[in-house]
Chain A
Amino acid sequence: MKLSKTIPSFRFQIALWTLVLSGAVLLGLTLFVYLSVHRQKLELLDTQLKAFANRLPQNPAGRGGMQRLEQAREWFFGAETVYLSVRDRDAQVVFRSMDWPVNVALPDEVALAPQAPHSSQAPSSSTEEMGFRRGSGPQYGQATGRQMMQAGVWRFQTLADDGLHWRLAMFSTANHEYRILVSLTSLDSEMAALRWQLTTVLLPALALLSVGGWIIAGRAIHPLNNISKAAEKIMAGQLEERIEPAEKAPEIGRIIALLNRMLDRLETNYRQALRFSADASHELKTPITLMQNSLVNHLNSVEAEGAEAQFCTQMLEHLSRIKRTTDGLLLLARTDSGQLPQSSQSFDMAELCQELCGDLRSLAEIADPESIWQESLPKTLLIRADPALTRTICFNLMVNAVRYSGHPQRIEVALRAEKNCACLRITNNGPAIPPEDTARIFNRFYRGANASHSKTAQAGEDAGSGLGLAIAHQLAVGMGGQLVLRHSHTDSTCFELTLPRADPET
């Protein structure tokens, strides 16, 4: 329960990962398309610029050159106006369009003037700057080269100025350096339109992905939900409940088939166990009732202190032992099959202990007049458990303490409240339980060496059914508590029973 609060549901996780993965792929693809389109458009523009350059006069300084240059601009077939600037080898501007946008900072206009280096000194690195360069952010508006162009070498660059983009193409002939500047405004607005189109497609796609992911995750988990719903019903006692087969998910379908088969077996076993304890109860208790009452009647019809009366008395004792063992075994059979009858209610454990201590103290005193019996019980201590079963546990523990104590007998019963539970410790001075036996003391029919040393055993009488601790342990666990052997050494053996409090301290 607590886990589900901190970790989002499995369905959410699946949906989220679906969205993240497919969203990332989609975004990547969109970006790729966008950039490709941008590049293609630039390349197209560059090609146009080259075609335009081919029409330029070879010698602008020659006669009529200026005019032809000015006219050439009109041949350009792009939507944008093209500007032209021509310099000679000494960086003198030979020609410049009248309406050249002065604000555009050209990369090497300033640098070229004083240096006026010769083309032969151009560094090899300039080749890297040849051809198309992607007009990515950092290079906008920056001067990327300071040397004169080599003849026939084209250089393209994207410049930014006050939010406007320009494409600058530079090439040089033997004597001149040409600069062609064209505005990218229409390209930018085309790209903006594309961006908008992509966004309007991408956002619904992402929304669709998240909804789809959520639905798919839900469908994937659906069989699991069926399993847990069925399990809940089964826990609530509807044993005939089965999990709906998941036909669309063969993997889960296999698990469901297996679980259903397991449930069949569980149900069969459970019903058998249920029938067993009911049948066994009936079949055993009816003859016991008859025997017991026949014996009592016979006892009252013969001479009171005669041999027959004593025989009847002994038979009644044996019968009593059979009854106790039968009850114990049936109780264990019921707890084994999970049918432990429980009425969980709030009651005073201190009062219960008080009552039991009263009887057992007398018992201890009879068994050993020098016995020391110590009690430390609170006035009240409310626990939440089944009163009858709690009584059985406490009684079994106390009887054991009396039965297996040393001489002079010393028994200590201490009940105290802990934060969430009531803790009853019963300590006696019986012989230590050997360490190798401590794991087995809660086993059925376990009788340690101590049992055979007990006073009753030495007297040749019954030393308990061997079920007392097993029953006490199983009942304690069944009621949400615990029963443990705290310690056992010479002189002191302590059992500790804890049961949930009705009013735990928060």
Chain B
Amino acid sequence: MRVLVVEDERKIADFVTKGLRESGFVVEACHRGDDALTRISNEPFDALVLDVMLPGRDGLDVLREIRRGGRDIPVVLLTARGGLEDRIGGLNAGADDYLPKPFYMEELVARLHAVIRRRDGRAASLLRVGTLVLDLPAREARVGEEAIELTAREFNLLELLARSPGRVFTRTMLYEQIWEYDFDPSTNLVDVYVRRLRAKIDSPGQPSMIETVRGVGYRMRK
């Protein structure tokens, strides 16, 4: 899966590139809007991560140009301005998704997977961790053969954890990515949800699939 990252801040471009590579993408980066257009028209990319504020040509401008050319490539927009008009402007210009800065790498990976999946139809639609299987388009979960009933929020939480098994998520990170509110990190709503999830997916007698990292947060057992 080839992804082009267009971001003028070198440091952000570097860590995004690194993070996406770790998640199994083949990543190229460029720092100018006009360069990005040239590269997209000459090389086959499966997805585009595009910053809005770019030298050369503005990100939205690049996006419009791509869509005008009839290219159907999935695009995730990044922007420092979380303003709603930016989001609407971005989606109107033809973006598939929109991620305001500051974002977590895990979030970007999940969004990127989601937009590629939406374009491809079925590809990469099953997420497997041990006996746990998540059917992402259908929003269904199974453990072995047994179907599990999950609420939307429970499913999202499980998907986030299952996407990066072994990776630690602090409560703050989970609040920000699952609830999207500005929760006080000291509230233990996450704990309640994790407890519910464990009750649904864990087999008795076995260690829990969701591991508590004391004083830090949670992670999915590899």
Contact = CB atoms under 8 A, between A and B. Distances in A.
Interface of A: 277-278, 281-282, 285-286, 288-290, 292-294, 296-297, 299-300, 304-305, 309-310, 312-313, 316-317, 319-321, 323-324, 327, 330, 334, 339, 341-343, 359, 362-363, 366-367, 386, 388-389, 395, 399, 403, 456, 459, 461-462, 464
A290 B11 contact: yes
Interface string B9-29: 101100100010000000000
A118 B76 CA distance: 126
Contacts of B15: 290, 293-294, 297
Nearest to A462: B184
Contacts of A304: 168, 213, 216, 219
B189 A362 contact: yes
Given A305-B216, A319-B172, 14 more contacts: A278-B80, A281-B80, A282-B80, A289-B101, A296-B105, A309-B215, A316-B170, A316-B172, A317-B170, A343-B84, A366-B187, A399-B181, A461-B186, A462-B186
29 contacts: A278-B80, A285-B101, A288-B102, A292-B104, A293-B15, A293-B104, A299-B170, A299-B216, A304-B213, A304-B216, A304-B219, A305-B216, A310-B215, A313-B170, A313-B172, A313-B216, A319-B172, A320-B172, A320-B176, A323-B176, A324-B182, A330-B82, A341-B85, A359-B189, A366-B191, A395-B181, A403-B184, A459-B186, A464-B184
Nearest to B172: A320
A365 to B, nearest CB: 8
A464 B186 CA distance: 11
B9 A286 contact: yes
A327 B82 contact: yes
A218 B187 CA distance: 67
A342 B86 CA distance: 11
A341 B83 contact: yes
B192 A362 contact: yes
Contact of B102 (A292, A299, A462): A292
B186 A313 contact: no
Contact of A363 (B11, B88, B185, B189): B189
A231 to B, nearest CB: 23
B84 A305 contact: no
A306 to B, nearest CB: 9
Interface residues of B, number: 46
Interface in B107-139: none
B67 interface: no
Secondary structure type dominating chain A contacts: helix
A455 to B, nearest CB: 9
Given A278-B81, A359-B179, A309 B168 contact: yes
A363 B191 CA distance: 11
Interface of B: 9, 11-12, 15, 19, 53, 80-86, 88, 100-106, 167-168, 170, 172-173, 175-176, 179, 181-189, 191-192, 213-217, 219
Contacts of A309: 168, 213, 215-216
A293 B105 contact: yes
Nearest to B179: A359
Contacts of A293: 15, 19, 104-105
Contacts of A281: 80-82
A366 B189 contact: yes
B54 to A, nearest CB: 12
B187 A289 contact: no
B215 A456 contact: no
A281 B100 CA distance: 10
B103 A289 contact: yes
A456 to B, nearest CB: 6
Given A299-B170, A363-B189, A366-B187, A305 B214 contact: yes
Nearest to B169: A296
A321 to B, nearest CB: 8
A334 B192 contact: no
B105 A342 contact: no
A327 B182 contact: yes
Nearest to B14: A290
A289 B9 CA distance: 11
Most chain A CB neighbours (cut-off 10 Å) among B53, B184, B215: B184
B215 A320 contact: no
A305 B218 CA distance: 11
B80 A285 contact: yes
A456 B184 contact: yes
A449 B11 CA distance: 43
Contacts of A299: 168, 170, 216
Given A286-B80, A310-B216, A367 B187 contact: yes
Most chain A CB neighbours (cut-off 10 Å) among B11, B106, B179, B185: B185
